[in-house]
Chains A and B, each alone.
Chain A
Amino acid sequence: MVVFVILAVLAIAGAIGTISFKSGIYSALSLVGTLLTLAMMYVTLHAQFLASVQVMVYAGAIMVLFLFVIMLLNESQMSGADPLPWVQPVAIAGGIVLAAALAFTAFQFKAPKNLETATAALQGGTPGAIGETLFTKFLLPFEAVSILLLIAAIGAVSLVHRQPAHNEALETTSEHATDNAYSDETSSNPAKVVA
């Protein structure tokens, strides 16, 4: 219980940091903190594989991508007045109500099984155990999500495809400025005009 309380406090602190920091970097770093505490929580919930995947994929890849984009765009703080100033108090009030309602519902939950026996059935959530479920009962979603990943990869490439006419804004902030200086082929750009 002590471990849970410590982790829960850290996770909530990270979450509040995520939504309240003005700077994108600090926001993202707070979220990384929350993700890491959640990974530790997965360990206490006997989901070892998910814990390591959470660290590797979420904290190690996805959040680095976020930070990368935040630094690349290097945007200054939001300027101008908030056009919808009343949203903030309403949202906070709504959020508190939502959290209270969901938490109240959560405590209606009756444990369907004895917790000890149920935990033992998880086999610690090792890669072997998860893999067995994933490749039998979850085979169709697994294949579907692999196709989805492929589509996402193609989509991402086509979205950020180098279009010579429009990328001045990026040139100044990204490394292209330095790279172009010595990559001779770039200057003789084989007119990749958008069709």
Chain B
Amino acid sequence: MVETQYYIALAAILFSIGAVGFLTRRSAIQMFLCVELMLNAANLALVAFSRAWGDLLAQSAVFIILTLAAAEVAIGLGIIVAIFKKRPTTNVDVLSSLKG
């Protein structure tokens, strides 16, 4: 049986990759994908901790996070499509009209 630490370390690596991607990507959709990756890294950590404590609370929390991710994607992609209708790009460097 693999120790919990390895799972947490893997979650940490995945989270960092997601964070790097979020900072370096310029397409709003790809940044969004990186956010999903970070969420999933957190989920993996929660599931691993759930096994370490022998408690299903963390697994239930992951279920809530999954639902939350679904809601987030529905809204986020809706916003991207709505912006795309006005200006046909998803490049976040171009979409800076709210900058003061």
Contacts and interface: CB of A to CB of B under 8 A. Distances in A.
Q: Do chains A and B touch in the complex (CB under 8 A)?
A: yes
Interface residues of A, number: 96
Nearest to A131: B60
Contact of B51 (A18, A35, A119): A119
A73 B60 contact: no
B64 interface: yes
B78 A50 contact: no
A38 B40 contact: yes
A35 B84 contact: no
A115 B1 contact: yes
Interface in A29-78: 31, 34-35, 38, 41-42, 44-47, 49-50, 53-54, 57-58, 61-62, 65-66, 69-70, 72-73, 75, 78
A122 B2 CA distance: 16
B85 A169 contact: yes
A163 B85 CA distance: 10
B52 interface: yes
A65 B33 contact: no
Contacts of A87: 23-24
23 contacts: A12-B14, A18-B34, A19-B20, A24-B30, A44-B2, A45-B51, A49-B59, A50-B63, A69-B81, A72-B81, A75-B84, A75-B88, A75-B90, A99-B12, A99-B15, A115-B1, A115-B52, A119-B1, A122-B51, A122-B56, A134-B63, A141-B61, A146-B67
